Amino acid sequence: MSVAVLTGAGVSAESGVPTFRGAGGLWRQFRAEDLATADAFRRDPRLVWEWYAWRREVVAACQPNAAHRTIAQMEQAAPDFTLVTQNVDGLHERAGSRHVLRLHGSLWTLRCTREGIRVENHEVPLAALPPRCACGALLRPDVVWFGESLELDTVTAALTAARRADLLLVVGTSALVTPAANLPLVTLEHRGRVVEFNVERTWLSDYVDETILGPAAETLPQWWAEYQSSPQGRG
């Protein structure tokens, strides 16, 4: 039995991390093109860094919730398991998930704009804004900005997992950003079962096998407990 999970900002909502769309969403308060593009960074690296430094501070003050913990338990319990996330917050890792395919990068890795090398950095607050590499060049957040390509290896691994999955759980995403949004369709095309967890219906709800409405920190642990005691979960 191959199990995959795709998460979006909604899985971290109950931890206190703002989502992107909807009421209180980041893209309601800020213009993405001012903050999450390579052009914006070239124009004003400090402004872009202030925004990411603020997001790092918000996340550092948050704790993983029961949905993150349940997903970490799934990894332990299912021999063939893949977690794919669009989130950059690192809460899956803090909840105990070991292997995470991070489609959109991480707030906790910085990348040298000259040499491309990556450095892990958990400093909150950051000592210098904008931070610089030992080589003197600017460091940028190691996240995927609008107009940029995703890491090919990561996308390939995510697509492979979606194709293989007998069961894909889609948790807390509006499924509006590709290629993440395509993963559930890939699973369905290959006759896998897709279960969506969200506080509201999305466009995907019309296509998936089941949509479970409610906060993921409640619905996912409950679903997992029931699944484990079902013949399918035991088998």
Closer to ligand OAD at the Cβ: 126 or 177? 177
Residue range at the interface with ligand OAD (CB under 6 A); choices 15-23, 40-48, 154-162, 227-235: 15-23
Among 2, 15, 70, 86, binds ligand OAD (CB under 6 A): 86
Verify whether residue 190 is a known catalytic residue.
no
Number of residues located near ligand OAD, criterion CB under 6 A: 26
With contact defined as beta carbons under 8 Å apart, do 138 and 110 qualify? no
**106 sits near ligand OAD (criterion: CB under 6 A):** no
| Binding positions for ligand OAD, 155-194, rule CB under 6 A | 172-174, 176-177
Is residue 92 part of the contact set for ligand OAD (CB under 6 A)?
Answer: no
Minimum Å distance from CB 103 to ligand OAD? 7
Q: Which position's Cβ is nearest ligand OAD?
A: 10
Q: Which of 35, 36, 72, 158 binds ligand OAD (CB under 6 A)?
A: 36
Identify residue 6 by its one-letter amino acid code.
Answer: L
CA distance 211 to 104: 25
Subset of residues 130 to 149 that bind ligand OAD, contact rule: CB under 6 A:
144
Q: How far apart are CA 125 and CA 57, in angstroms?
A: 7
Tell me: does residue 90 bind ligand OAD (CB under 6 A): no
**CB 192, CB 159: distance < 8 Å:** no
* Span interacting with ligand OAD, options 20-28, 111-119, 185-193, 226-234, rule CB under 6 A: 20-28
Looking at 15, 19, 82, 187, which residue binds ligand OAD (CB under 6 A)? 19
Active site residues: 104
Residue ranges that bind ligand OAD, judged by CB under 6 A:
8-10, 13-14, 19-22, 25, 36, 86, 104, 144, 172-174, 176-177, 197-200, 202, 215-216
